[in-house]
Structure 1
Amino acid sequence: MIYFMHMPIFIYFNEIKYRSMYVFYSIITTFIIAYIFKHEVFYILSKPLGTHFIYTSLVEAFMTHLKIGLLVSIYCTFPLLLYHMWVFILPGLYLYEKKSLRIILLISILLFFLSSQLGYWYIFPVAFDFFLSFQVIGLEKLYHLELQAKMQEYLILNMQLFFSLAFCFQFPIILILLSKLKLITLSWLVQKRKYFYVLAFVLAAIISPPDVISQFIIAIPILLFFECSIFALEWIETYTKKRLETC
């Protein structure tokens, strides 16, 4: 970290300002593009539930499209944000730190996009089928009960599930970073493994719809990533010990 210690303070803040503005302009540009293609974007988001929606407020459709544009821009610029964070701290890292953080960065981006694909193609359809099962449709039924989904409420539910999944899939990255900061240790994680297993199912029950299948679809990847985190930390400790022995 010697680079940052000897770097003039105004250069330090100018670097932060430059990279923050770059990310900000990227978000604005992506937002404008997403709003221009707002109908196509909403059609893609609505596929897991259907294509029939209503709005009951005069400004609801307009505000929903603005929110969609903002969320899509955040989603698309997330890798760019991680990249600028990486480039900013890069000069102050040792060679072995650069290698490890480069791998963490790539895995974080991969898990972020993997979570959205898993949610869109598997979790959301299962969850929405569960909610749609409460409809009462048919001439032989005692009464008629049919969902007329509001576009804004659907978007909020969709994004809540999506960002919850994204956070859960970043779980191993968080554990590895906490370990690098010496806030947790590998032995502590192994010792508390059974509690993490319980926590995984508790989180899945909180953020997923109330059906067992969706909870397992969320909990199982969290547990797999937890075990991968332990394996990665074991590999990092072994590599660090070998590097220190050869020095």
Structure 2
Amino acid sequence: MSDNIEDKPQPLLEHLLELRNRLMWALGAFFIAFLVCFAFAKPLFNILVEPFTWAVDWAGMSDRKIELIYTAPQEFFFTQIKIGMFGGLLLAFPMIAAQVYKFVAPGLYKNERSAFLPFLVASPMLFMLGGALVYFFFTPMVMWFFLSMEQTGGGGEASIMLLPKVSEYLGLIMTLIFAFGLVFQLPVVTTLLARAGLATSEGLASKRKYAIVGAFIAAAVLTPPDPVSQIGLALPTILLYEIAIYCARLVERQRAAAQAEREAEDSASTASSAPENDA
């Protein structure tokens, strides 16, 4: 068993130095990515405004000019800083994940490293899938819902128009992206728990009704207080929970097949050694 592990006993100081080096690489990557994204903060913000444009088209207001406002002198500056941090974190995530893996990999067995790598690849892909769902569908749908509350005026009524603040619009879309991105990690987390023996498909299936209630509670906490975004997050969460149960079943089948193969090898080894013992 010791041949399959590469880590050697090291003093605590060496582990701390290794951790410091990995953190420096991760923070350096984030800082560089932050500077790049901050330099292009305005074009990036314009990209994030595109879902609002689509919502305006959905609402039949294609001739309307898209306008966002800021009411404090420093508001848009801090909004650009948030864009730089948000984009920098996404851009630097591969380097950060690589540094985490390099720190923990020497202490893992070869089979554990081979099992861990697919999840390291699947996690950012699922996050991007959740973010894409937010960008191309849920943000336009939420903004269309808010646009439907406008009042055009006439007949003695006041004209009420949606003019989002830049900070609040960015906060909305960032909240939705992070919420969906985290929820889309559910199959990865569940599969890891199943591999570690901390969760079973039967146990997950028996708690399905609690998961449904929890999905709506989480959606109410993570999303803005409107029914469109809350239902829009709760339904994919429930679907991902079902996918997580299926992934746990696959892990259990693979474990059972591996166990049966080992038992067959042990039986064959015992049978082949039996004649020699008789002789």
- Which residue, out of 132, 135, 160, partners 1:120? 135
CA contact (8 A) 2:29 2:96 kept: no
Instruction: Using the TM superposition, give the Cα deviation of residue 241 of structure 1 relative to its aligned residue in structure 2, in angstroms.
Output: 3.2
How much is the aligned-residue C-alpha RMSD, in angstroms? 2.3
Matches of 1:188 and 1:64, distance apart in 2 = 44
Structure number with bigger Rg: 2
Instruction: Using the TM superposition, give the Cα deviation of residue 227 of structure 1 relative to its aligned residue in structure 2, in angstroms.
Output: 2.1
Matches of 1:182 and 1:141, distance apart in 2 = 67
Q: Which moved more, 1:57-66 or 1:182-191?
A: 182-191
In structure 1, the partner of 2:38 is 35
* Residues 62 and 215 of structure 1: CA distance in aligned 2, closer, same or farther (over 3 Å): closer
Instruction: Using the TM superposition, give the Cα deviation of residue 4 of structure 1 relative to its aligned residue in structure 2, in angstroms.
Output: 4.8
Matches of 2:103 and 2:67, distance apart in 1 = 46
Aligned residue identity for 1:13: L
Matches of 1:117 and 1:141, distance apart in 2 = 42
- Which residue, out of 82, 86, 90, partners 1:67? 82
Instruction: Using the TM superposition, give the Cα deviation of residue 230 of structure 1 relative to its aligned residue in structure 2, in angstroms.
Output: 1.8
- Provide the TM-score with structure 2 as the length reference: 0.79
Instruction: Using the TM superposition, give the Cα deviation of residue 148 of structure 1 relative to its aligned residue in structure 2, in angstroms.
Output: 1.9
Q: Which moved more, 1:62-71 or 1:84-93?
A: 84-93
The secondary structure found in structure 2 opposite 1:146 is coil
Instruction: Using the TM superposition, give the Cα deviation of residue 27 of structure 1 relative to its aligned residue in structure 2, in angstroms.
Output: 0.9
- Report the number of matched residues: 246
Q: Which moved more, 1:122-131 or 1:2-11?
A: 2-11
Matches of 1:118 and 1:92, distance apart in 2 = 37
- Provide the TM-score with structure 1 as the length reference: 0.88
Q: Which moved more, 1:177-186 or 1:126-135?
A: 177-186
Unmatched segments (≥5 aa) in structure 2: 54-65, 263-279
Instruction: Using the TM superposition, give the Cα deviation of residue 79 of structure 1 relative to its aligned residue in structure 2, in angstroms.
Output: 3.0
In structure 1, the partner of 2:9 is 6
**Alignment partner of 1:223 is 2:223:** no
* Residues 188 and 228 of structure 1: CA distance in aligned 2, closer, same or farther (over 3 Å): same
Q: Which moved more, 1:49-58 or 1:35-44?
A: 49-58
CA contact (8 A) 1:130 1:211 kept: no
CA contact (8 A) 1:201 1:215 kept: yes
Matches of 1:221 and 1:5, distance apart in 2 = 44
Instruction: Using the TM superposition, give the Cα deviation of residue 139 of structure 1 relative to its aligned residue in structure 2, in angstroms.
Output: 4.1
- Which residue, out of 203, 211, 232, partners 2:227? 211
- Which residue, out of 46, 67, 70, partners 1:55? 70
Matches of 1:169 and 1:100, distance apart in 2 = 19
CA contact (8 A) 2:134 2:180 kept: yes
In structure 1, the partner of 2:194 is 179
Instruction: Using the TM superposition, give the Cα deviation of residue 5 of structure 1 relative to its aligned residue in structure 2, in angstroms.
Output: 6.4
Q: Deviations over 1:47-80 (max 9, x none)?
A: 2224421111111111111111111111222233
CA contact (8 A) 1:127 1:211 kept: no
In structure 2, the partner of 1:167 is 182
**Alignment partner of 1:44 is 2:47:** yes
Matches of 1:194 and 1:118, distance apart in 2 = 25
In structure 2, the partner of 1:194 is 209
Q: Which moved more, 1:222-231 or 1:159-168?
A: 222-231
Matches of 1:95 and 1:245, distance apart in 2 = 21
**Alignment partner of 1:20 is 2:35:** no
Q: Which moved more, 1:145-154 or 1:130-139?
A: 130-139
